[in-house]
Amino acid sequence: MKTGTIYILFLAVFLSTITTGTGCNKEDSPKSPTALDFPMPAGWPETSYDFASNPLTNEGFELGRKLFFDGRLSKDGNFPCASCHQPFAAFATFEHDLSHGFNNQFTLRNAPALFNLAWHSEFHHDGGINHLDLQPLAPLTAPNEMAETIPSVIEKLSADPAYQQGFAKAFGTPEINTARLTKALSQYMLMLVSASSKYDRVKQGKDVFNVNEAAGYQVFLQKKCNSCHAEPLFTNLAYESNGLPLNPGLNDVGRMRITGSSADSLKFKVPSLRNIMVSFPYMHDGRLWDISDVYEHYNKTIPLSSVERGLLTEFFKTLTDSAFINNPRLGQP
């Protein structure tokens, strides 16, 4: 009787362990990722990105951040996304017209600064990519950029236990696939929001322009620069020809490459003027090195006196978002 009682008690404890997960099951099961709020600036237009298809989480963001700075996404390990999109240059390539890629090759366009991407529905200078989740696939596989294949990238990441753990935290299981890879990168890039410049503080009533900045803002409005560089994004997200002739060395026809329409010849996506003073050189191929070169180019259609140029520069400086550029949470982990 005593032996039978002990056996029954043992069996009860054993079954309880199986059903309740006492020991390791419950503790080892991945926790749900922590929701991350998108920093929507007050008064800005609605975003274009479908957050419901890729909800922001702290774990997804941190995974995307790690991927963005990881050279293993390139063929030889030397070219992470951040090699062309440097944080201190507002995620553009500092002082380079064309970026350096695999095997001593160069890209065919100037790397655009990366910020406020949630408001974009088309990407690249010609709008050839129509979803942020797809955008990384182009530079990852371009032979003159990162020169990798997606299967090879997934194989390298899957061999790293830290990445298996990171994907499990962000997506529930350690499986690494193309969709998860690009969604993690999107979560990081979506958080690259630049909306804390002096201009923004002035608009929020938290700061004031000095005399020259205020005068430069008036020049900006009077010369109708805002017809293309519309506030608050400082771009209308359209494709325009600004009068630059074809670069014979690159033979880049711009938007026409995508649409096939001659009406789109030499049209490129209007860049944002935010952080313009730290993201030179300018234009789709970086041919204009300095802001003074930009003024000289537009002087043909929008005459600018030397005084107006100086005032515009003072206003443009207020668009530099130091809090964004120096944000440690957006930098290399």
Domain enclosing residue 186, as ranges: 51-194
* Residue 288: DSSP 8-state: B
Q: What is the reported pLDDT for 30?
A: 65
Q: Is residue 28 part of a domain?
A: no
Q: Would you mind telling me the total number of residues written for the chain in this entry?
A: 333
Checking if the pLDDT of 117 tops 90, the result is yes
Q: Residue 277 is part of a domain; what is its CATH number?
A: 1.10.760.10
Q: What is the reported pLDDT for 23?
A: 40
Q: Where are the beta strands (DSSP E) in 84-141?
A: 100-101, 105-106
Last residue within a domain, chosen from 194, 211, 241: 194
CA 137/CA 152 separation, integer angstroms? 13
Encode burial over 129-145: b for 16+ CB neighbours within 10 A, e otherwise.
bebbbebbeebbbbebb
Encode burial over 26-53: b for 16+ CB neighbours within 10 A, e otherwise.
eeeeeeebeebeeeeeeeeeebebeeee
Q: Is residue 180 part of a domain?
A: yes
Q: Across residues 21-33, what is the average pLDDT?
A: 57
Question: If residue 269 lies in a helix (H) or strand (E), which one and from where to where?
Answer: strand 268-269
Checking if the pLDDT of 319 tops 80, the result is yes
Q: Where are the beta strands (DSSP E) in 96-224?
A: 100-101, 105-106
107 and 74 Cβ atoms separated by less than 8 Å: no
Q: Across residues 258-274, what is the average pLDDT?
A: 98
Q: Is residue 305 part of a domain?
A: yes
Q: What is the reported pLDDT for 22?
A: 38
Q: Across residues 39-65, what is the average pLDDT?
A: 98
- The pair of structure tokens assigned to 53 is 């298809």
Say yes or no: 244 and 268 in one domain. Answer: yes
Checking if the pLDDT of 225 tops 50, the result is yes
pLDDT tens digit string along 153-187? 999 999 999 999 999 999 999 999 999 999 999 99
Say yes or no: 138 and 83 in one domain. Answer: yes
Domain count, the chain: 2
Last residue within a domain, chosen from 154, 169, 194: 194
Checking if the pLDDT of 63 tops 70, the result is yes
Say yes or no: 204 and 187 in one domain. Answer: no
Q: Where are the beta strands (DSSP E) in 102-245?
A: 105-106, 239-240
Q: Across residues 69-82, what is the average pLDDT?
A: 97
pTM summary value: 0.90
Q: What is the reported pLDDT for 11?
A: 37
Of 77, 47, 64, which Cα lies nearest the Cα of 148? 77
Say yes or no: 59 and 182 in one domain. Answer: yes
Q: What is the reported pLDDT for 320?
A: 98
Checking if the pLDDT of 207 tops 60, the result is yes
Q: What is the reported pLDDT for 31?
A: 85
Q: What is the reported pLDDT for 19?
A: 37
Q: Is residue 74 part of a domain?
A: yes
